[in-house]
Structure 1
Amino acid sequence: MSTALLLDLPKQHRAGKRVGIVSICSAHPLVIESALIAGRENRHVVLIEATCNQVNQDGGYTGMTPLDFRKFVEAIAAKVGFDTAKLILGGDHLGPNPWKHLPADEAMEKSRVMITAFVAAGFTKLHLDTSMGCQGEPVALPDATTAERAAFLAQAAEGALPAGGDKPVYIIGTEVPVPGGALEALDHLQVTMPAAALATIEVHRRAFAARGLDDAFARVVGVVVQPGVEFGNEDVIVYEPAKAQALSAVLGQVPQFVFEAHSTDYQPEAALAGLVADGFNILKVGPALTFVLREAIYGLDQVAVALGLLEPSETVALAMEALMLREPQHWQKYYHGDAAALHMQRHFSYSDRIRYYWPHPDAVAAVERLMAALGDRDIPMPLISQFLGTLHAAAAANGQKTDARSLLLLAVRQQTDLYSRATGIL
């Protein structure tokens, strides 16, 4: 699992080349399958990351440990013929977030166990995120505390390296967006100040050095900053290069680094390309991929009803509504408003918290019922136009299969291709 591409990103940026990598932050099997098929066809490296909430030593919301996740991804790679030598696995937001309700010492011990499990399982891109307060602490911690806790986790990771395994690369940062998008309506966004980015790098350098981790710090390739992009339930703030010009210029002073941009979901292609050109060479995307997948599933719902293959009462959408109402823990704290607003957000919010429900047995059964009803038949193009309009042009291309499963993969592929073009892969 080569990390050479990641280590080379700062050099490529300094040379004026528009080169980047997209980080696929999803545990959905169809998202991963589509990404790996694209990697196979275009012969490029694929970076897939699991967040601390999705995957950890306790199973996360997917029920998978890091080793389980690696086996899960590698099984999909074997099925589609993707060479795992071109696969990079990453751990995203590795830190105390799943346990921040505990005292800091307990939460950080849990974090230590988690990161060693990721390293032992062969994950080689590690995003150290210790920016959140734990029980009794402020929501946002001082940079020095964040850096000390990050260095603690890096030391644990270095000590867990399997024999013969690639040494990991690290991502640091203290201005880390909330996983999964903003929690409130967006009306403004503060781009990271250049001095703050430089201070973040320096405070981490000192914290790593205090633990004798100079070699590990040499493999810190990226810094998470806020370039001025974000999304909420209904809002997307699009990248404006002029507002990030001073921040981008910081990279000229720290040639070891590029920036990692979180929450790039729903950005138009020109904005993604602008981010890469300005040194935000690692683009993370997750909810947008399951958002378009959900769109396609709901479109196929309506296709199946139109073809008389399902009753209106048998759709995936209705099954998901019943499931989310019965088990509201994944959305209840995040969505607000009257009954109509809550219904809209449960199904159609950009934050896509419905993604937490796809592994649930009831959701799996509903999707399987839909796919069984549609089978391997070609979906008529007029129905694709009517219910899957965003796929119509691509579905009409020569050689494109139009059975239900192929259309789901195509929905994801259209999104990842945006990133591939922006990062210079296509």
Structure 2
Amino acid sequence: MTAHPLLDLPRRFQAGARAGITSVCSAHPVVIAAALRHGLQRDQPVLIEATCNQVNQDGGYTGMTPAGFRRFVEGIATDLGFPLERLILGGDHLGPNPWRHLAPEQAMAKAAVMIAAFAAAGFSKLHLDCSMGCAGEPVALPDTLTAARAAQLAAVAEHHRQGRYDPVYVIGTEVPVPGGAVEALEHLQITRPEAVAATYGVHRDAFAAAGQTQAFARVVALVVQPGVEFGHDAVIAFAPEAAQALSGALRALPGLVFEAHSTDYQSAEALCQLVSGGFSILKVGPWLTFALRETLYGLDAIADALDGGPPRHRLMAGMEAAMLASPEHWAKYYHGSAPQLWQQRHFSYSDRIRYYWPDRSVVAGVAALRARLAGRRIPAPVLEQYLPRLCREDASFDGLLDGAVQSVLALYQRAIEG
């Protein structure tokens, strides 16, 4: 196996160069294809990640195992001519989270099977997250227990690793559990520099005790809270002055950079400042499918306008029916009156609507919309009315969907390049 390309991020950052990569966290084929086209056009690697709830040995909510997800992504890459050697796959929040209802021993046994499957499938960026309590345990666990369980999973990954690269690891978890923030945004707290040192130290010791010193040498990043998050209709913007001390903590950790979760909906300037501050791995997911949903809803209105009438919102109605029929993906996250719940289902920044695009009825609705627009020219004034941010030369159905995702990825590219 060869050295992982992400290991170069800390070296570049410590040398004073810009060091960053976008982590695309999505299982939507349009998003994945757009990310691969983006990388292909720029001759650069593409990092695509799956969470423990999304993909696991039981199928997750996508129905895909790690090996299945790899085949899914590589199939899209092959169709586009994207070189597979430039594809980096990651697993996010790998730990007992999907099985927290079980006793700790049972949950960790399931987590071990999961991370073995990720490592054996060639996923080479592994976020170890054992911070959540299981049945009979407190919600948040002591650092020593969290680190010991992470080291246990690292040992499993090392034993089962396959693929082009030696795996690299990400530790720490000062972010909401997979699925997004459910608490009020005013409680957000930036990670303290002393917490960074403590997290690093306790994991170093736990890995050493587990005989995993070599694996710890490939810990490339630490997850921290730099002061960014989003709720249903609000975004906390990054304030670099508030995170200055946190960024300074990296000076004592030359082999590390920070990984920032929930960077969705930040401004171009904020993303650029995050990279400058050592938050080199920028994770984005909901923003990409949010942009996709905006575009599909806009195209639905455009199709009606081309037919000579006002929007009937057929796709939106189909989505509403699918979400009401299977509320498990949104019911515990959205709260309020009936109108507020309706707005959150369709327009929340948390974008839990993304779970419903694979629904058979929704797939049929999108296919019907595509057929309605096939071969039809969209006049510029109509496009400007419903999709003003996407007025572009390729105003085809697929071109506009790709453009919506690419427009978000372009902001991250700008931040990485400076």
TM over 0.5: yes
Q: Residue 238 of structure 2 aligns to which amino acid in structure 1?
A: Y
**Paired residue for 1:287?**
286
1:48-78 CA deviation, whole Å, 9 max, x = no partner?
0011111111111111111111111011111
**Paired residue for 1:369?**
368
Deviation at 1:178, TM superposition (A): 2.8
Superposition map of 1:18-167 within 5 A: 18-162=18-162, 165-167=164-166
**Paired residue for 1:243?**
242
**Paired residue for 2:409?**
416
1:184 and 1:300 mapped to 2: Cα distance? 34
1:151-179 CA deviation, whole Å, 9 max, x = no partner?
011000001023x6421000000423333
Asked if 2 retains the 8 angstrom alpha-carbon contact of 1:184 and 1:233, the reply is: no
Deviation at 1:335, TM superposition (A): 0.4
**Paired residue for 1:225?**
224
Asked if 1 retains the 8 angstrom alpha-carbon contact of 2:300 and 2:315, the reply is: yes
Asked if 1 retains the 8 angstrom alpha-carbon contact of 2:297 and 2:313, the reply is: no
**Paired residue for 2:206?**
207
For residues 310 and 244 of structure 1, do their structure 2 counterparts lie closer, same or farther at Cα, with a shift above 3 Å needed?
Answer: same
For residues 416 and 309 of structure 1, do their structure 2 counterparts lie closer, same or farther at Cα, with a shift above 3 Å needed?
Answer: farther
Question: What SS does the aligned partner of 2:342 have?
Answer: helix
Deviation at 1:391, TM superposition (A): 1.1
Q: Residue 370 of structure 1 aligns to which amino acid in structure 2?
A: L
Deviation at 1:378, TM superposition (A): 3.3
What is the aligned-residue identity percentage?
A: 60
**Paired residue for 1:254?**
253
1:321 and 2:320 aligned: yes
Q: Residue 119 of structure 2 aligns to which amino acid in structure 1?
A: V
For residues 2 and 278 of structure 1, do their structure 2 counterparts lie closer, same or farther at Cα, with a shift above 3 Å needed?
Answer: farther
Question: What SS does the aligned partner of 2:186 have?
Answer: coil
Question: What SS does the aligned partner of 2:175 have?
Answer: coil
Give 5+ residue unaligned stretches, structure 2: none
Deviation at 1:3, TM superposition (A): 6.1
With structure 2 as the length reference, what TM-score do the two structures score? Answer: 0.97
Give 5+ residue unaligned stretches, structure 1: none
Give the alignment partner of residue 405 of structure 1, picking from 390, 398, 401: 398
1:2 and 1:229 mapped to 2: Cα distance? 34
1:44 and 1:380 mapped to 2: Cα distance? 35
Deviation at 1:362, TM superposition (A): 1.3
Q: Residue 111 of structure 1 aligns to which amino acid in structure 2?
A: A
1:128 and 1:71 mapped to 2: Cα distance? 23
Deviation at 1:186, TM superposition (A): 1.7
Deviation at 1:84, TM superposition (A): 1.1
Question: What SS does the aligned partner of 1:281 have?
Answer: strand
With structure 1 as the length reference, what TM-score do the two structures score? Answer: 0.95
Asked if 1 retains the 8 angstrom alpha-carbon contact of 2:302 and 2:311, the reply is: no
2:68 and 2:183 mapped to 1: Cα distance? 34
**Paired residue for 1:274?**
273
Asked if 1 retains the 8 angstrom alpha-carbon contact of 2:235 and 2:265, the reply is: yes
Q: Residue 78 of structure 1 aligns to which amino acid in structure 2?
A: T
Asked if 1 retains the 8 angstrom alpha-carbon contact of 2:4 and 2:168, the reply is: no
For residues 2 and 110 of structure 1, do their structure 2 counterparts lie closer, same or farther at Cα, with a shift above 3 Å needed?
Answer: same
Runs of 4+ in 1 over 6 A off after TM superposition: none
Deviation at 1:314, TM superposition (A): 6.7
Asked if 1 retains the 8 angstrom alpha-carbon contact of 2:170 and 2:219, the reply is: yes
Deviation at 1:185, TM superposition (A): 3.4
Asked if 2 retains the 8 angstrom alpha-carbon contact of 1:94 and 1:115, the reply is: yes
What is the aligned residue count?
Answer: 418
Superposition map of 1:159-198 within 5 A: 159-162=159-162, 165-198=164-197
1:7 and 2:7 aligned: yes
1:311 and 1:358 mapped to 2: Cα distance? 25
**Paired residue for 2:329?**
330
**Paired residue for 2:348?**
349
